[in-house]
Chain A
Amino acid sequence: MTSTLFHMRNDLDEVDGMVTSLKAHLEGHLSDDGLFRFEICVAEALTNLVKHAETADLETPIDIAVTVERDTVVVEIFDPVGAVPFDLNANAVELSDVDLMAESGRGLGLILQCADKVHYGDVGGRNRMALEFGKAAA
């Protein structure tokens, strides 16, 4: 098992670069389909955090941990300090329930559909979303 910690400035301009770096880090560990699903999930999760996780401390970077295990890749994304936790179940919307002509509201549905497992909750006093991807097809 190897675990790597990344830090991203709490700024929308930083998301694409971080997503690209994380994807490059996992080349060879996930199949093309797994990398696609990983990229979608991480892009949506980081964008949601920057846009919606209110924090008074915008200077503290967002922590992201990527752990490569024998059969899985797990990415853990920690909410900014002071952000109010959200209720994953209450906010979860299946993509099939999203109006085709809606201009927003697909992010969480994409995460739930593309990740093999999604966990959100308090870990060591910090709110964390953990996304798991199987390596079976790599």
Chain B
Amino acid sequence: MIHITQHENGITVVRPGVERLTAVNAKTFKDETIALINDGSSLLVIDFQGISFLDSSGLGALVGVLKRIGSRGELVVSGLSSEVEQLFRICRMDRVFKAYGDANSAVQAMSENL
């Protein structure tokens, strides 16, 4: 399901690989991303480019991934559509996740903070 791109400095861009991240696929997304963390990735960009819809299950999965990373790394998001961004705001996730316009901007910002 997820697509992974490894960058320098150990930053990994994860694309969920679906158009809608919802109850039907949220657990798979969470399990596969947590497996990535367990394998040593702790600097993650979750790139939402191409995702048109996110429900509360998808959001919950994202929070679960963030909790798994905890203090050993960082997780940011990128490429939010206006609808996904609106859901983030309604659920106050804009206070939890740092968001970037696209994955490259996120990787660059994350690199500069290392």
Contacts and interface: CB of A to CB of B under 8 A. Distances in A.
A102 B63 contact: yes
Interface residues of B, number: 24
Where chain A touches its partner, the secondary structure class is helix
A12 B56 contact: no
A9 to B, nearest CB: 13
A40 B23 contact: no
Given A36-B83, A103-B63, A106-B60, A16 B24 contact: yes
Nearest to B57: A47
Where chain B touches its partner, the secondary structure class is helix
B91 A106 contact: yes
Contacts of A100: 63, 92-93, 95-96
A15 to B, nearest CB: 7
For the complex of A and B, list the 9 residue pairs with the smallest distance between their C-beta atoms, beginning with the closest. Answer: A103-B60, A106-B56, A47-B23, A103-B64, A107-B56, A43-B55, A104-B60, A12-B24, A103-B63
Interface of A: 12-13, 15-16, 36, 39-40, 43-44, 47, 51, 95-96, 98, 100-104, 106-107, 110, 113-114
Interface of B: 20, 22-24, 53, 55-57, 59-61, 63-64, 66-67, 83, 86-87, 90-93, 95-96
